[in-house]
Amino acid sequence: MPKGPKVVFLDRDAFTVKIEERMIDVPCTWVNFESTPDDLMTERCRDAVAVVTVGNSLERHHLEPLKHLELISACSTGTDHIDTAYCAGRGISVANAVGYATHTVAEHAISLLLALRRNLISYHHDVAQGEWQKSDQFSLPNHDIRELYGNRLGLIGSGGIGRAVGRIAQAFGMEVVIAGRPGESLQPSGRMAFEEVLKTSDVLSIHCPLNDATAGLIGLREFRLMEKKPILINTARGGIVDEVALVAALEQGLISAAGFDVASTEPIAAHNPLLDLVGDPRFILTPHVAWASREAQQAAYNQAVDNVVSFLKAR
């Protein structure tokens, strides 16, 4: 017999390491699904009062039949995969997890930058192919290596993750500048005009949310403004950068390299232009794992469960 309101976790196996289960100290019927395909979303949630998800899209057509739903608890900071406008109109609360991924995403962004700046993948490939073994010199510096010291890092987005990236960059001796909003002539204290950041930065790192204002924020026009041919890092959301324009920018030498952890559709579609760059040593693509340190996964899970518990206690 059910012990209380039904709670459905749609994609429990999105957490790939063993997560310590939280004690649920309120009566409820908690149902875990390893993953949930789109065509089963509504059916699995039909009697649920609360739904927990890491990355499932919950659009209006999923939500309309769910007459009992009162809460969506996202195991993420971003909620762009949830129709929040519809939820607001229906009185469905949307809770997210905050702050859990600050360190892990910042470390991943810097890792992408270091791997590209020092050509680590190309050097590893050389050793795997026996090039160093055949060399008559102790060292094999046949790929360009550049230092970060003295370079300018332009941050597009300066929330907790952006600031964490900035602190790490400053430890490397980089100058850190923060981009203002595009099109604004007057900038708040501590910010530089968006186009000036694009023109003068050696590295650009994106840390803003995906919304109507940031969708397609970096396109071919913006790439053409990048006078210093920077490295572009994106650990935020794929839709912020025009992916077709990114391919063109690398092909035309408008940027020197790019490191991405995100794509416009995820899992990445077979026809996504980013896949055309896989194998190019100037490009690194990881499968949206910047957030996924063991510590961050546990923290995100804890927050999502705590949000449900708090909701049920107050109900």
**Residue 196 known to be catalytic:** no
Domain 6-100+295-314 identical in fold to domain 102-285: yes
From the list 181, 176, 164, the residue with the least C-alpha distance to 204 is: 176
pLDDT of residue 16: 75
In the block, tokens 């046949």 appear at: 142
Sign of CA dihedral 179, 183, 185, 186: negative
What percent of the chain shows pLDDT beyond 70? 99
Question: Residue 2 — very low, low, confident or very high, per pLDDT cuts 50/70/90?
Answer: low
**pLDDT tens profile 159-198:** 999 999 999 999 999 999 999 999 887 778 889 999 999 9
Average pLDDT, rounded, for the chain? 95
**Residue 315 known to be catalytic:** no
pLDDT tops 70 at residue 17 = no
Q: What value does the mean pLDDT take over residues 208-228?
A: 96
CB neighbour list of residue 30: distance below 8 Å, 6 or more residues apart: 7, 9, 24
Q: Regarding beta strands 50-53 and 71-74, do their DSSP bridges make them parallel or antiparallel, or are they unpaired?
A: parallel
Exposed, middle or buried, 227 (CB in 10 Å: 0-12/13-18/19+)?
exposed
Q: Which amino acid is at 153?
A: L
Q: Contact, 9 vs 74, CB < 8 A?
A: no
**pLDDT tens profile 85-144:** 999 999 999 999 999 999 999 999 999 999 999 999 999 999 999 999 999 999 999 999
pLDDT of residue 1: 45
- What is the C-alpha to C-alpha distance for residues 301 and 18, in angstroms, rounded to an integer? 11
Q: What value does the mean pLDDT take over residues 242-251?
A: 98
Tell the CATH topology of 6-100+295-314: Rossmann fold (3.40.50)
* Residues across the chain: 315
Catalytic, out of 62, 108, 117, 288: 288
Catalytic, out of 12, 266, 271, 295: 266
Question: Strand order of the sheet with strand 231-234?
Answer: 175-178, 152-156, 203-206, 231-234, 257-260, 283-285
From the list 207, 251, 258, 253, the residue with the least C-alpha distance to 227 is: 253
Catalytic, out of 68, 237, 243, 251: 237
Q: What are phi and psi of 264, to 5 degrees?
A: -65, -30
**Residue 288 known to be catalytic:** yes
Q: Where are the domains of the chain?
A: 6-100+295-314, 102-285
CATH number of 102-285: 3.40.50.720
pLDDT of residue 292: 93
